[in-house]
Amino acid sequence: DEDERLLSVSIPFVFSLSLCAALLALLVSVFLSNVSLPSLSLLASKIRSTSPTSTISSIGEQMGTSSSSSSNKMASWPPQSMETEGSELATFAAGCFWGVELRFQRVPGVLKTCVGYIQGHVDNPTYEQTCSGKTGHTEAVQMTYDPKQVTFGELCDVFYAGHNPTQLNRQGGDVGTQYRSGIYYHTEEQKKIAEEKKGQVAGAVTEIQAADTFWPAEEYHQQYLEKGGRFGSGQSAAKGCTDKIRCYG
């Protein structure tokens, strides 16, 4: 009885395996009859040449956060033209630096802008390190400006009008010390003006400190919204432009 039971189970099983093998052989035969050997060779070579690293880099480029060396290279700053144009430096932090930079790009008299990291305790920090909140830096915008065209006090007015200075260590949905409000002065005159302007804003928690080392951010962060971000929809940086600033990734 036991032998008969085993035989009754094994026969259907063997038959099923044979049927599957026959079907597989048929599918392979059909596939090979429609695909030439050169095509198969080309497919294999593409598979071999596509590494996980290249795939990740490709995705990064599409998202505007490429890990290539050219994208990670820090921007060159400050501009050498400062020596001949008679400009001065100003540095502000007001949340995500993309939107802050575009706001100042539009101000007549602001000559050049650069986003970066300031007031931290780690040399040459990366964006990822700064976002961790462990380096002490804040996202900031440093600019050169012509004091004959725009005063530091007027830049402070633009600064306060462009964010909520009563929020501590955050701006909207961006939370962390890297998003704190700050004015980092380069001269005693700037310090005096910054303190006066803060006193005119009720509830302002803006920190006012002497500017520490400013570390330019990676190239892909520079003029990010003007260039269009990862969606390729650039926003105007024309002087005097009043279009609403849309901050996106």
DSSP 8-state code for residue 92: E
User: Among this protein's residues, is 20 annotated catalytic?
Assistant: no
Of 93, 71, 84, the residue nearest 211 (C-alpha): 93
Distance CA 106, CA 82 (A): 19
- From 96, 114, 156, 247, active-site residue: 96
Distance CA 43, CA 29 (A): 18
Report the alpha-carbon angle 14-15-16, nearest 5.
90
The CA-based dihedral angle spanning residues 19, 22, 26, 32, taken in that order and rounded to the nearest 10 degrees: 140
Question: How far is CA 79 from each of CA 55, 84, 112, 125, 183, rounded to the nearest angstrom?
Answer: 36, 10, 8, 20, 21
Give every CB contact of residue 173 below 8 A, 6+ residues apart in sequence. Answer: none
The crossing angle, in degrees rounded to 10, of helices 97-105 and 152-161 is 130
Residues serving a catalytic function are: 96
